[in-house]
Structure 1
Amino acid sequence: MRRGAFHYLIVPGWHGSPEDHWQSHWQRTLANSRRIEQADWMQPQRPDWVTELHRGIVAASAPVVLIAHSLGCPTVAHWVAQASPEALRCVEGVLLVAPADVERPGCPEPLRNFAPLPLVPLPFPSVLVGSGNDPAASADRARAMGEAWGSEVTVLSGVGHINVESGHHRWEEGLAFLHRLQTLIGEQAQRRA
């Protein structure tokens, strides 16, 4: 499936994604992409974040592929749990990267209002990429989230939170996971035809 056939929505996590974050780089290089902006990146409120995601999805002019990082992943899960069937049909798939476990011991206080985390299958193809040493989610927890969401799961070794602090600026290797998601979307479309 052609990349230009989608509208990519970048869904950042807590604190947003700075200019040198891979999500910002991808936004600059992927055609038909834009970022979900939040009013408050420091004190996220689940209802507000989910509302902004919903606005971005329904306003898109083409089928949507979500590219979520960290707290963006629980935001997607909460949106799915409350979205209408019509809104859900706007999304073709989601790439979930370094999902934040908002139920973990020691979870930062500003993220706790995203718990409990909906752990039900997503109604579209998804690929989850976790890390064996991510402070925001253990490898086991990332796998459990991905399995509950029906995602194809990969846990990378020693890549941290897959953000600027862990050395992931352009993260061109990550585009292989986006390509894999697009393949899954194409396979699903063929089954429906």
Structure 2
Amino acid sequence: MNPSRILLLPGWQNSGPDHWQSRWERLHGDERVEQHDWHWPRRGDWMARLDEVLLQDDRPALLVAHSLGCQLVASWAEHSRHTARVQGALLVAPPDTERDDAPPQLHNWRPIRRGRLPFASIAVISSDDPYGAAERSAQMAADWGSRVVMAGPRGHLNAESGLGDWPEGRALLHGLKDN
């Protein structure tokens, strides 16, 4: 079997240079899925872009999503005919786009897609994520069929969380490879 390719799916406004996704891109050669508009993300456009990138290569893919990227995986999986190309997904800090205080740029990501994912997945959830209560995030993960890993009070699990190269996340990703 061909080695998996690792596709990074950043959230709203992309992942900055100190974010663990950007570090993984530099350290491990993971491939960032670039979106046309990071500031006014349209669900259908992001889903089409993920399909496009997956179809560029026959190797199985591991999806590594942060924040809105988690909602992308759930939405894409409900509609794509190419889910068999995905070996697994690491879903980090899934946000609650249905919250009353969600930014207007994210309103078209409602309702949250809650169908069971057709591939193995792990959701990493912080107990004090400002973009989603841990209980709501854990319920989303359960609906998706994801194994939940509670990360403790780590904020939004981004550059401000002090994760650095985040070797613990990389170990979770490698566990998905073995499925």
Partner of 1:190: none
TM-score (normalised: structure 1): 0.88
Partner of 1:145: 140
Residue 80 (1) aligns with residue 88 (2): no
CA drift of 1:29 comes to: 2.3
The letter for the 2-side match of 1:28 is R
Query: Which residue, 4, 7, 14 being the options, matches 2:5?
Result: 7
Root mean square deviation, CA, Å? 1.5
In the alignment, the residues of structure 1 paired with residue 24 and residue 18 of structure 2 have an alpha-carbon distance, to the nearest angstrom, of: 10
CA drift of 1:57 comes to: 1.3
Runs of 4+ in 1 over 6 A off after TM superposition: none
CA drift of 1:43 comes to: 1.0
Gaps of at least 5 residues in structure 1 are 186-193
Partner of 1:70: 67
In the alignment, the residues of structure 2 paired with residue 106 and residue 133 of structure 1 have an alpha-carbon distance, to the nearest angstrom, of: 16
Larger mean CA deviation between 165-174 and 113-122 belongs to 165-174
Residue 60 (1) aligns with residue 57 (2): yes
The letter for the 1-side match of 2:102 is C
The letter for the 1-side match of 2:83 is L
Query: Which residue, 40, 45, 51 being the options, matches 2:42?
Result: 45
Gaps of at least 5 residues in structure 2 are none
| Deviation digits for residues 33-54 of structure 1 (CA, Å, limit 9, x no counterpart) | 2110011111111111111111
In the alignment, the residues of structure 2 paired with residue 142 and residue 155 of structure 1 have an alpha-carbon distance, to the nearest angstrom, of: 10
CA drift of 1:5 comes to: 1.1
Aligned counterparts, 1:1-193, within 5 A:
5-31=3-29, 33-84=30-81, 87-183=82-178, 185=179
CA drift of 1:113 comes to: 0.5
CA drift of 1:111 comes to: 0.9
The letter for the 2-side match of 1:30 is H
The question of whether the paired residues in 2 share the 8 Å contact of 1:80 and 1:88 is answered with yes
